[in-house]
Amino acid sequence: MATQISKAVLITGCSTGIGRATAEVLAQNGWAVYATARKLEAIRDLEAKGCKTLALDVCDEASMRAAVDVVEKAHGAVGVLVNNAGYGLEGAFEETPMELVRRQFETNVFGLTRMCQLVLPAMRRQGWGKIVNISSVGGTLTLPGGAFYHATKYAVEALSDAIRFEVRGFGIDVVIIEPGPIKTRFGDTAIANVHQVARDASPYADFNAAVAGKIHEAFEGWMAVAAGTPESVAQAILRAITASRPKTRYPITAAARTMMFLKRWLPDRAFDAFLGTQFPHPRPRPS
C-alpha cells in the first residue's frame, strides 16, 4: 500500500448544476478538487473557488485518459471519482432516432464506465478510493417519455452494484446518488430533446407536449417548490465520501423517496394507472 493516500477528487460535468455545486462544496471543505467540463471556459471561474480545472469529454477516450493522468501525476491516484456528466433524452420511444439513443448511452453509461475503469488501478494500488455515480430516482422507476434516459440510469444502478462487490476488498467504496427533481438546467435540456424528437404530424404529438409540460412543471412550474437544490446533492456527496462506511444509495428529495415508495409497493398495473393520471395515453387520432 502507498504510504501517502491520495484523496484528490475528480468530478465530471461541472459547467452547471450538481457538478458545479459539488466542486464548490468539496473545495470549501478542504478537498483537492479537479473540476472538469467539455469546454474549459465554462468552469474557469471555479479556480477562484479553490478548484483546479481540466477539459474532459466523457465521450472521448483521449480526453478521459488525459484528465486522469493529470491527477495521477500530481497525487498518485484519483482518490474520489464523481461521475456526474449526463443529460436526459425525452420523447416518444418509437420516434427517437438511433443516433440520439447512442449518444445518450455514450454520455450517461459508457463514459461513466470508462472513467471507473481508468481510475481503479491506482485506487487499488493505494488501497483506498471512492466512486460516486450520479444516478437518479429514474434509475429505480420509469416515467412515460423517458425510455432511454431511464434505461441509462437503470444501467448505472446495475453497474454500480456489480462494481461495489468487486472492489470492496481493495478498500474502494461505490456509492449511488439518486436525486429527484433538482433545480438545474437539466430540465431545459430534457425539454429541448423532446422538441428534437417530436414531429408535428406525429401520433405522439399530444403525448410529447404533455411530457414537455410535466418536465417544465417539475423544474420551473408549481412542482418546482418541492425540488431539491444542487447544493443538497453536493452535501450528500460530501457525507458519502467522508463516511468510513458510506451508504450504498442516497435518495435525494422527498419527491424521490415518495415515488420510490409507490413503485416498490404498487403492482405494475396500479403504478401504470397512477401514471395515467399524470400523462395522456397515446391513442389514434380521429380521422
pLDDT winner (highest mean) among 82-96, 222-236, 270-284: 82-96
- Which cell is 249 given? 444509495
Name the residue type at position 159: L
Question: What are the extents of the domains in the chain?
Answer: 9-276
CATH H superfamily, domain 9-276: NAD(P)-binding Rossmann-like Domain (3.40.50.720)
| Angle of the 17-28 helix axis to the 230-242 helix axis, nearest 10 | 50
Separation in Å, CA 205 to CA 4, 77, 202, 251, 281:
58, 50, 5, 33, 11
Phi, psi angle pair for 37, to nearest 5°: -160, 165
Distance CA 198, CA 93 (A): 10
Contact 146, 215 (CB under 8 A): no
Contact 197, 145 (CB under 8 A): no
Specify whether 149 is catalytic: yes
* pLDDT over 90 percentage in the chain: 69
Q: Which runs of consecutive H residues, i.e. helices, occur in 135-179?
A: 147-167
Higher pLDDT, 199 or 90: 90
Distance CA 282, CA 235 (A): 40
**pLDDT for 200:** 61
- Which cell is 231 given? 447544493
**How far is the first Cα of the chain from the last one, in angstroms, to the nearest whole number?**
72
Question: For 122-149, what is each residue's pLDDT tens digit?
Answer: 999 999 999 999 999 999 999 989 999 9
DSSP output for 13-72: --SSHHHHHHHHHHHHTT--EEEEESSGGGTGGGGGGT-EEEE--TT-HHHHHHHHHHHH
Q: Is the pTM of this model over 0.85?
A: yes
pLDDT tier, 258 (very low <50, low <70, confident <90, very high otherwise): confident
Residue 124's Cα: distance from chain center in Å? 24
Higher pLDDT, 264 or 12: 12
Per the residue annotation, which of 149, 154, 204, 250 is the catalytic one?
149
- Which cell is 181 given? 427533481
Phi, psi angle pair for 53, to nearest 5°: -120, 145
Name the residue type at position 99: E
- Which cell is 124 given? 487499488
